[in-house]
Amino acid sequence: MNSFEYAMPKRTADVFRALESSDSIIKAGGIDVLDLIKEGIAHPQRLVNINSIDELKYIEGNQTTGVKIGPGTTLAELASSEVLSGSYRALAQAAGSTATPQIRNSATLGGSLCQRPRCWYFRNKDYHCTRKGGFTCFAVNGENENHAIFENDFGCVMVHPSTTAVALIALGAKLTIASAKSSREILVEDFFVTPRENMHRENILEQGEIITAIHLPPAAKNMVSYYYKQKAKQSFDWPIAEVAVSMQLDGKKCQNPRVALGAAAPVPMRSKEAESALNNQEVTIDIAASVGKEAMKKATPLSQNKYKVHIFQAVIKRTVCWASDIDPFA
Amino acid sequence: MAKEVKLHIGVENDLEEIKVTIPDDSPKPWDGKDKLKFVGGKTPRLDGKEKVTGNAKYTFDMKLSGTLHAKFFRLPCPSAVVTKIDTSAAEKAPGVKGIVLVQETLPLTVRYADQELLAIAAETAHQVDEALKLVKVEYEKRPFVVDLAGAQKSDAPEVFQGKFERDKEVGQIEVDEDNAGQRRGNVRAPQDYTKGGTKEEIEQFIEKSEFSVSATYQTQVQTHSALETHGVVANWEGDHLTVWASTQGTFSVLGELAQVLKIPQTNVRVITDYMGGGFGAKFGAGPFGIAAAKLAKKTGRPVKLMFSRREEHVSGGNRPSSMQTLKIATNKSGKLEALSLVSRGSAGISTGAGTSAPAKGIYECPKIYTQDADVFTNAGPSKAFRAPGHPQGIFALEQSIDDLAYKIGMDPLEFRKINTMNHDVRQKEYQIGAEKFAWHKRNPKVNADKGPIKTGMGMANSVWYYFYGVGYQATIKVNGDGSVELLNGTQDIGTGSRTAMAVVAAEELGLKPHDIVVRIGDTKLGFGPPSGGSQTTAGITPAVRDAAYLAKNKMLEIAATHLNATAQELDIRDGVIFVTSDPTRKLSWKKVASKIPGGTFSVMGERKKDHIDIKGAPAVHFLGRNFYTIGGMQFAEVEVDTETGVIKVKRILAIHDCGRPINRLTLQSQLNGGIIQGVSYALFEQRVIDRNHGLQVNPNLEQYKIAGSMDIPEIETIVLDTNRGNSSTGAQGIGEPATAPVAAAIANAVYHAIGVRIRDLPMTPAKVLEALHS
């Protein structure tokens, strides 16, 4: 760990000033940043703690108006939020399934979206991988059991670690991103960048920008959602496969489905194949199973992770069933 | 002088009377018919409050004034020759007080990634980190091999090119030094064992047999991952060295430090007041202990050197992986006829214990051939790990036995029963286990459940050995105020030895366990056992009881003069000394203590050789000697998700024996711990080394997966009382047998659930799915 300056702004406006120098880094819950600094992956000269800014912590609105969430809201708060118990429940489920109770009490929604990859080569200071400015992705021909099965043909095969992003994409959420000078809105699914777009970053945030709000659109009529994470362990573990689904359900008839996959690609991704297989269908176990199969048709697993394709098929099937209130084991 | 006593011995209430000759200064061993007050009961840990309130001070917590922090410089290269080490810039870095090289002369051969080259001590841990960045090393990279299969190939890079020099670490498996000369490439000279024929005869017999199975099993490298990492705090006062160590053997650390530093043993003291876990890798001073002692000498300051979690994974020791090919034949009626096992284990840069002991020690089989060999790899040293070789060996053996039972259409439990008739405890354990687990409700068919999630039941035998050392000295001091101190240098590594010792002393003295002040974990307090081989309780409690017996006699003699009786006419119970024929004539313990001539006395009990050899079970050849076998077995119920490959262990029933149980509460904790560690080994734990670059990619507790609370099955434990009359307490060990059969029992339950065998540990979703889809 290197020595650094520590800034603790009290208002959002002060954050931008603190972020002016290019070697400063934001700390929210501090879960990921502390790891990165301790492992010698990040060497910030200034740490800007935004956890002390109360105006970034809120959950406002309802299913009719849409919901606005402050990026400083903790995952524990999301998991137990009343507002997120109905149509938006995928987000509460995702937040509640992350990490451990201790981490959820500290980790924030903004931090969850902006965390860096957990790839074991990226996290090891002795591997100068593509994402750290090197020329080799060590996982491609190395130990890649946990890596991507989509978008894995260009320079980096990590999977994006944000669980909340998977749910937010399924819910069609947007972000407000602000800097000292301006602010803009963007869909969560457009927030992340693939290695092909940029190898050295995971999202579009520019230096000096932060997420200031997360917006869930008003829930469409009969909208349901569900999130599920498949882990090897039952206790804390990173996912092998995670799936979030939202759709309008008229009886069992599905419309406008959104299916998002996590731990599948270097970005949390939508599966258009799954969505078109599900759209306008009467949901049954068989239909749900075919959605899983369709979603995996274009998968390109690496040498050690073919098993993830099978698991995704099962998890997509089950998540679609659970979203539709069908017992997948019946 | 010796005396002859009558004794009832046996398993549970199945007792026989024998006569035993015992020394005069030892009490009659506890009898199978004795009703004891604390021994065999449940006594909460004496130090429980200190631990849960954070008052217990571990090595990691030691803060001596002026302590320097030290850390190793490690080279992240799996194979190299270091030609130059330049520490000039590091020496000048802020706060740096001293640097010592691990090897003074160059060139130095690096045989695994992150091998330590030198240690730096500085005022703060941060300053050490900064100084480490300034060390410059020139080295030449060499080819390397990190996997067990690759290391055995004829063209594999040789890990040891010259003579193999093993880590000198007390507590490790003794090896024949000449063995090194017979090495072929990375494969050390194989250790062969035959019974009832030559290798060729046995293998031919199996080949021709009508009922046989043959399969290859693989197990992974598991790292010890104790909560408290390896490390010491070293402090010199003149030419006397005191070391606080997170160790399983205070005396082995003392011995190694004296030897390496070339100072008399009288000048070394090792303290382990509280210890944060050890599973076999913490017996020696280690490079860290030696470096800390040298840095402390050099700087004239106390030096603390504790491993980081990463260092613990890469350098702290590990359980060797294995590749085992096992062939077994039976006759039609289910009697085993022949067994052949060829086993290879990854030793890293050290040696392993082989995996053949269970194949030799559990079943009656007339023809046995086994061959073990260690294979060197460019990876961190393997070390003894909770039942060395046994979880691996039992994983292969017990799946093969299961396989064979199904093949001849026999209930796997029945098959085991008829092939272990020579073990009286085991036979009882089958009966109790089957009943408690409702084995009869198990569907005899495999893969019988409908739907994607399938349940299964399986079981596996354990085996371990009765180990104990002699010469341990427990001192009991009775003070004028009636307080009692019990002193011995052994350590409590979390198993509850401190409390077990108090229980034994209290039982003999007619006091309560919490009345006994136990001082342990300090080599100044008398020779005590290392905590390895599951021998601490078996080793130390007879010495404690003998000391308590002498103290009791002394108190009775003092009381006798005041009660107008002879000492023989008196007894002690509940803190009162009384005339047995007239209990109204009595004095309190305190009152008698106040009359001790001179105000206080000390007596010492010594661990002697056992009075008699243990009978009732076969003796087995392990580590160069014959040992009485301890039984034990576990039953597992699992749920296998055939769509995701995820295995959930629903419940484990463990039935074990360990001689006479001393404290059932901590005994149960040891069983729970062994089972949890076994579940973790079966399903999750695995050191992953990047085959292309030779570095461990998961040296943390995030990607090196260990079972968490949600992964723990419902656990039920049953411990049989086996009274053998062998020592004054009759205690044997449990730490190791508790973990040995877990993975095998789970694997057999998985087979019952899905009808496919997983012969490769850990049983990950990937492997389950591969087995189902192939």
**Could A234 and B697 be called an inter-chain contact, meaning their C-beta atoms sit closer than 8 Å?**
no
User: Three-state SS string across B138-179, please?
Assistant: EEEECCCCCCHHHHCCCCCCCCCCCCCCCCCCCCCCCCCHHH
Indicate if ipTM > 0.90. Answer: yes
A291-307 mean pLDDT = 98
Please tell me whether residues A212 and A70 are part of one structural domain: yes
Is B95 an 8 Å CB contact of chain A?
no
A98-107, A151-160, B354-363, B625-634: least confident range: B625-634
Residues in chain B within 8 Å Cβ distance of A120: 688, 697-698, 703
B394: part of which helix (H) or strand (E)?
helix B390-407
Question: Which tens digits make up the pLDDT trace of A157-181?
Answer: 999 999 999 999 999 999 999 999 9
Which chain B residues are closer than 8 Å to A232 by Cβ?
646, 683-684, 705, 764-765
Cβ contact, residue pair B644, A120, below 8 Å: no
Candidates A314, A328, A177, A139; CA nearest to A242 is A314
Q: Give contacts of A 173-232 with B, CB under 8 A.
A: 230, 232
The CATH number assigned to the domain holding A10 equals 3.30.43.10
Q: Is B647 exposed, middle or buried (0-12, 13-18, 19+ CB in 10 A)?
A: buried
Which residues from chain B sit within 8 angstroms of residue A240, using beta carbons? 644, 765
pLDDT (0 to 100) of residue A1 = 79
Distance CA B760, CA B774 (A): 15
Decide if pLDDT at B167 tops 70. Answer: no
Do A294 and A197 reside in the same domain of the chain? Answer: no
* CA end-to-end span of chain B: 71
| Strand pairing class (A46-49; A5-7) | parallel
B560-592 confidence digits (pLDDT tens): 999 999 999 999 999 999 999 999 999 999 999
Q: Which of A255, A239, A237, A235 is nearest to A247 (CA)?
A: A255
CA distance readout (Å), B711 to A312, B38, B603, B682, B708: 22, 34, 48, 12, 5
Say how many domains are in chain A: 3
Average pLDDT value over all residues in chain B: 95
Q: Check CB contact of B124 with chain A, cutoff 8 Å.
A: no
Please check whether residue B645 touches A, CB under 8 A.
Answer: yes
Q: Residue A284's pLDDT is what?
A: 98
Which among B641, B692, B707 is the nearest to A142, CB-wise? B692
> Measured between alpha carbons, how far is B505 from B502 in angstroms, rounded to an integer?
5
User: Cβ contact (<8 Å) for B644 and A310?
Assistant: yes
At A175, which CATH number?
A: 3.30.465.10
Q: What band does B189 get if pLDDT is binned at 50, 70 and 90? A: confident
CB contact under 8 A, B690 and A311: no
**Nearest-CA residue of chain A relative to B697?**
A120
In chain B, residues with a C-beta closer than 8 Å to the C-beta of A315 are 644
Q: Is residue A138 part of a domain?
A: no
Are B60 and B276 contacting, i.e. CB atoms less than 8 angstroms apart? yes
- Specify the pLDDT at position B179: 53
Q: Are B382 and B352 in contact (CB under 8 A)?
A: yes
- Whether residue A299 is contained in a domain is answered as yes
Tokens of B659: 């001689």
The DSSP string of B191-230 is: EEEEESS-HHHHHHHHHH-SEEEEEEEEE--EE---SSPS
Q: Say yes or no: A38 and A73 in one domain.
A: no
Q: A41 in a domain, yes or no?
A: yes
Contacts of A124 in chain B (CB under 8 A): 695, 697
Owner of token pair 């200071």: A125
Residues A78 and A167 in one domain: yes
Instruction: Check whether residue A189 and residue A302 sit in a common domain.
Output: no
Asked if residue A296 and residue A280 are part of one domain, the reply reads yes
Q: Which residues, including other chains, have CB under 8 Å from residue B315's CB and lie 6 or more apart?
A: B74, B112, B114, B115, B116, B307, B380, B381
How close B768 gets to chain A, by Cα (Å)? 9
Is A212 in the same domain as A63? yes
Cβ–Cβ contact B698 with A under 8 A = yes
Q: Are B417 and B427 in contact (CB under 8 A)?
A: yes
- The yes-or-no verdict on residue B386 having pLDDT over 90 is yes
Q: What is the band of B161 on the pLDDT scale with cuts at 50, 70, 90?
A: confident
The residue ranges of DSSP E strands in B272-389, in sequence order, are 303-306, 318-319, 322-330, 336-348, 367-376
User: Is the domain of A237 the same as that of A301?
Assistant: yes
Domains in chain B, please, with CATH?
68-180 (3.90.1170.50), 224-315 (3.30.365.10), 422-467+614-774 (3.30.365.10)
Point out the domain boundary residue: A32, A54, A76: A54
Instruction: Please state the φ and ψ torsions of residue B355, each to the nearest 5 degrees.
Output: -125, 10
Q: Does B710 touch chain A (CB under 8 A)?
A: yes
Confidence of residue B462 (pLDDT cuts 50, 70, 90): very high
The alpha-carbon gap from B115 to the nearest alpha carbon of chain A, in Å, equals 14
| A62 and A179 co-located in one domain | yes
Domain boundary among A11, A34, A54: A54
Residues listed for chain A: 330
Q: Do B644 and A311 touch (CB under 8 A)?
A: yes
Question: What confidence score (pLDDT) does residue B174 get?
Answer: 35
B40-90: per-residue pLDDT in tens? Answer: 999 999 999 999 999 999 999 999 999 999 999 999 999 999 999 999 999
Asked if B363 and B313 touch (Cβ cutoff 8 Å), the reply is no
Residue B176 has what pLDDT?
41
Judge whether B691 is closer than 8 Å to chain A, CB to CB. yes
Cβ–Cβ below 8 Å for B688 and A120: yes
Task: Give chain A positions within 8 Å (CB) of B638.
Answer: none
B178 has a pLDDT exceeding 50: no
Q: Is residue A150 part of a domain?
A: no
* Residue B459 to residues A63, B215, B252, B356, B654, Cα–Cα distance (Å): 53, 19, 37, 20, 10
The whole-number pLDDT of residue B165 equals 53
Question: Given A216, A239, A254, which residue is the final one in a domain?
Answer: A216
Q: With respect to residue A147, please indicate whether it lies within any of the assigned structural domains.
A: no
Contact list in B for residue A237 (CB cut-off 8 A) is 705
Is residue A133 in a domain? Answer: no
Question: Could you give the CA distance from residue B688 to residue B695 in angstroms, rounded to a whole number?
Answer: 8
Residues of chain B contacting A142 with CB distance shorter than 8 Å = 690-693, 697
CA distance A212 to chain B (A): 30
Give the pLDDT of residue B619: 77
Give per-residue pLDDT as tens, A79-124: 999 999 999 999 999 999 999 999 999 999 999 999 999 999 999 9
What's the confidence (pLDDT) of residue B173? Answer: 34
Reported as a pLDDT band with limits 50, 70 and 90, residue B162 is low
pLDDT band at B91 (very low <50, low <70, confident <90, very high): very high
Cβ-contact B510, B589 below 8 angstroms: yes
Q: List pLDDT tens digits, range A222-268.
A: 999 999 999 999 999 999 999 999 999 999 999 999 999 999 999 99
- How many Cα atoms sit within 13 Å of B129 on the Cβ side? 11
User: Which residue from B452, B693, B710 is facing A235, i.e. has the nearest CB?
Assistant: B710
Whether residues A174 and A233 fall in one domain = no
Residues A172 and A320 occupy one common structural domain: no
* Chain B neighbors of A236, CB-CB under 8 A: 708
What lies within 8 Å, CB to CB, of B435 at 6+ separation is none
For the segment A136-144, the average pLDDT, to the nearest whole number, is: 98
Distance, CA of A164 to CA of A90 (rounded, Å): 9
> Which pLDDT value is given to residue B625?
74
Average of pLDDT values for B122-142? 97
Q: With 50 as the cut, is the pLDDT of residue B169 above it?
A: no
- Residue A148 falls inside a structural domain: no
CA distance B382 to B400: 26
% of chain B beyond a pLDDT of 90: 93
* Chain B residue closest in CA terms to A122: B697
Min Cα distance A220 → chain B (Å) is 32
A264 occurs within a structural domain? yes
Is B711 in contact with A3 (Cβ distance < 8 A)?
no
Residues on chain B touching A310 (C-beta within 8 angstroms): 643-645, 769, 773
Mean pLDDT confidence for A35-53: 94
Provide the CATH number for the domain around residue A285: 3.30.390.50
Write out pLDDT tens, residues B491-526: 999 999 999 999 999 999 999 999 999 999 999 999
Spatial distance between the Cα atoms of B232 and B235, rounded to a whole number of angstroms: 10
| Min Cα separation B386/chain A (Å) | 23
Give the largest Cα separation in chain A, rounded. 60
Of A233, A315, A317, the CB nearest to B705: A233
Using the beta-carbon criterion (under 8 Å), do B705 and A232 form an inter-chain contact? Answer: yes
Q: Which two tokens stand for residue A30?
A: 């501090």
**Pair of tokens at residue B389:** 């070789």
C-alpha radius of gyration, chain A, whole number: 19
Closest CA to B465 of B682, B319, B314, B659: B659
- Judge if A61 and A208 occupy the same domain: yes
Q: Does A138 touch chain B (CB under 8 A)?
A: yes
Which band of pLDDT confidence, cut at 50, 70 and 90, is reported for residue A2?
A: confident
Mean pLDDT of B300-308: 98
What's the pLDDT at B129?
A: 95
Q: Which domain holds residue A312?
A: 223-324
